[in-house]
Amino acid sequence: MHWLTRPKADKNETIMEAQDNFNLESEIARVLKNIYDPEIPVSIYDLGLIYEIIIDGENKVELVMTLTAPNCPMVDELMAEINEKVRAVDGVKDLVINLTFDPPWDKSMMTEEAMLELGLL
């Protein structure tokens, strides 16, 4: 029986792939920093609503995120904006947004910039 396997990548290829993923993740984060919570004048990234940005080897992106409250009335509009803007990032082949409420969001997840902007520091 023969197993088909992908040839092992050389060290330089692996480093280049890691750099490409880092660049794509950085660009996605930049886009997310320009999407604002509809009820709070702070970006969803700085609010700490983005838990993970996962990029696979085919540039398919998974965002694991939460909301400030499970019953957010603007969730549909927010998800549509995230979907549109992240998919528009050069290199993103597909996007899945996974909403989670575990752990639940709280103010401690905000960046210092967000806390300053909201007068919490």
Task: State the pLDDT at residue 10.
Answer: 54
State the average pLDDT over residues 50-68.
94
**CATH 3.30.300.130 assigned to 11-117:** yes
Query: CA 25, CA 109: separation in Å to the nearest integer?
Result: 19
Reference 37, options 112, 116, 114, 119; nearest CA is 114
Global confidence as pTM: 0.82
Using one digit for the tens of pLDDT, what is the confidence trace for 16-39? 777 777 899 999 999 999 999 988
Task: State the pLDDT at residue 6.
Answer: 43
Task: State the pLDDT at residue 15.
Answer: 76
